[in-house]
Amino acid sequence: MTVLSAIAHSRLADLVGPQRVITDPAQLVPYEVDAMRPSAALRPESIAQISEIVKFAVSEKLAIVATSGRTKLNIGLPPRHYDLALDMSSLRKIIAYDPGDLTLSVEAGIPLAALGHVLAEHRQFLPLAVPYHSQTTVGGAIASGVDGPLRQLYGIARDFLLGIEFVTGEGVPAKSGGRVVKNVTGYDIHKLMIGALGTLGVITRLNFKTFPLPIQSRGFVARFPSAQQACEMPSRIARSPLAPMTTEILSPGVTELFESEAASQIASDPMPANVLSPAEWAVSVGFAGNEKARNRYLSDLQRIAEECGGHGFLVQEKSLAAAFARKREFVPIALAFSPAATIIKINILPSKLNDAFAAAQKTAEANSLQWAALARGLGIIYLALLPAASDDENRQRVLNATNAIHEACANLGGQSTIPWCPTPWKKNLKIWGPGNLDLSQMQKIKNVFDPQGVLSPGRFVGGI
């Protein structure tokens, strides 16, 4: 950490007010990113202030990381520099909400949970079922680009984010998209901001499509002796007329994770007994609708499960919230479970899910690592490697395993990254994948939005 000059401090105090500049080292601890501590944290109250702060950072060559809930800051590489934390939590207003139009405009720092309560009053919601749900903000959910179980039916943020306002790396307030549900006016810059880890702009406002809350949700779980049988079930559902809200495949190792003390600390409701088995693979399917539709789902899912060689059952209604919370919070649970949990995200065609599971299992076992995997039926696997300690031996094992998995995924036509691992391991592991990506087009984008490199420098793919 560099110490801010007295002149810089006084200028920042002028910009946001002295009580909104934090420089006390103890108070800066929560703003650390990968063990790097900023020189100051600022709590701006307006877009104009953010614009001025960024301009000041450009003139002083200071690096900024925008943050608010601070739950997903350890995704990506450590920043190359980190001088100022931009705490967005004071920008938390709902700018506009038109329930009749199912559209919403909010400031980036609004907590997802608080927003959820407002929408629920109108029997609506935003299908951003991202991990760290109770602490995350809307801006963080978008900047981190993390997905959630509901993508099976509702898609991901790019499917319902209508527009964005942001401040560029030169301090220019700008926007793209709009507030209406259909719009092709100008380039879709807002899509670039999703998952960019704040490297292209400071997100200040976001416009979304909202959705009616599903009525009478139900959960169905089927258990299978093998991964191959489990993988067959989502494939058959995709060929059926069913349109479930969620479809996840869970490895046997998830059972221990979800029944652990770590899980109960993160998702407080107890995990229902006998839903998962440590000896079997499971497929979990969520659906909703009127009574006729629910009965149809149940009978079709039961038939499909049997055709795939498994047996299925409805999750008790009182246990649904606990089961759903665990699926959503798979990553935080894994990180709490092991002192050196390493999460690999694998993107693969659905038909290759079984091959990817086989590679994961083989690699984990060859390196004597405990593991668990949760996969979306659409072809996204979160593979958790769960070493017992964060020592050098385990680091080497995880390094060997992740390199092998990167290679296996590439051979299967997929991609893999390591969104979460212990910070000291980031210099060893290939966080952004095996390095086979063409970064030149992405670098062009970065140069447009942040030519001086003041926004989260170095955290993104290839150190962008």
Q: Closest distance between other proteins and the C-beta of residue 347, in Å? A: 4
Nearest CA to 294 out of 237, 377, 220, 213 is that of 220
Q: Which is nearer to other proteins, 295 or 423 (CB)?
A: 295
Selected range binding other proteins among 9-17, 29-37, 87-95, 348-356, rule: CB under 8 A: 348-356
- List the one residue from 123, 225, 277, 303 that touches other proteins (CB under 8 A): 123
103 binds other proteins, rule: CB under 8 A: yes
- List the one residue from 6, 19, 121, 182 that touches other proteins (CB under 8 A): 182
415 binds other proteins, rule: CB under 8 A: yes
- List the one residue from 7, 29, 117, 239 that touches other proteins (CB under 8 A): 239
Q: Which is nearer to other proteins, 47 or 276 (CB)?
A: 47
Whole-number Å distance between alpha carbons of 273 and 24:
47
- List the one residue from 27, 35, 93, 186 that touches other proteins (CB under 8 A): 186
413 binds other proteins, rule: CB under 8 A: yes
Q: Which is nearer to other proteins, 14 or 159 (CB)?
A: 159
121 binds other proteins, rule: CB under 8 A: no
102 binds other proteins, rule: CB under 8 A: yes
Q: Which is nearer to other proteins, 121 or 241 (CB)?
A: 241
372 binds other proteins, rule: CB under 8 A: no
Q: Which is nearer to other proteins, 211 or 313 (CB)?
A: 211
Q: Which is nearer to other proteins, 28 or 410 (CB)?
A: 410
- List the one residue from 19, 100, 279, 318 that touches other proteins (CB under 8 A): 100
Q: Closest distance between other proteins and the C-beta of residue 233, in Å? A: 14
191 binds other proteins, rule: CB under 8 A: yes
Selected range binding other proteins among 13-21, 132-140, 314-322, 343-351, rule: CB under 8 A: 343-351
- List the one residue from 13, 36, 95, 242 that touches other proteins (CB under 8 A): 242
Whole-number Å distance between alpha carbons of 438 and 454:
23
Whole-number Å distance between alpha carbons of 417 and 244:
27
Q: Which of residues 28-67 bind other proteins (CB under 8 A)?
A: none
Q: 10 Å Cβ neighbour count for 416?
A: 25
Q: Which of residues 6-25 bind other proteins (CB under 8 A)?
A: none
174 binds other proteins, rule: CB under 8 A: yes
User: In sequence order, what are the residues at sequence separation of 6 or more whose Cβ sits closer than 8 angstroms to the Cβ of residue 428?
Assistant: 395, 399
Nearest CA to 349 out of 381, 327, 309 is that of 381
Q: Which is nearer to other proteins, 18 or 435 (CB)?
A: 435
Q: Which of residues 444-463 bind other proteins (CB under 8 A)?
A: 444-445, 447-449, 460-461
* Burial degree of 292 (CB within 10 A; 0-12, 13-18, 19+): exposed
User: What is the amino acid identity at position 148?
Assistant: G
349 binds other proteins, rule: CB under 8 A: yes
Q: In the chain, how long is the greatest CA-to-CA distance?
A: 72
CA distances from 209 to 159, 265, 361 (A): 9, 32, 39
Using CB under 8 A as the binding criterion, the count of chain residues that bind other proteins stands at: 80
- List the one residue from 127, 414, 422, 453 that touches other proteins (CB under 8 A): 414
351 binds other proteins, rule: CB under 8 A: yes
- List the one residue from 35, 187, 391, 463 that touches other proteins (CB under 8 A): 187
Q: Which of residues 286-325 bind other proteins (CB under 8 A)?
A: 289-290, 292-293, 295-296
- List the one residue from 432, 450, 453, 455 that touches other proteins (CB under 8 A): 432
* Burial degree of 160 (CB within 10 A; 0-12, 13-18, 19+): buried
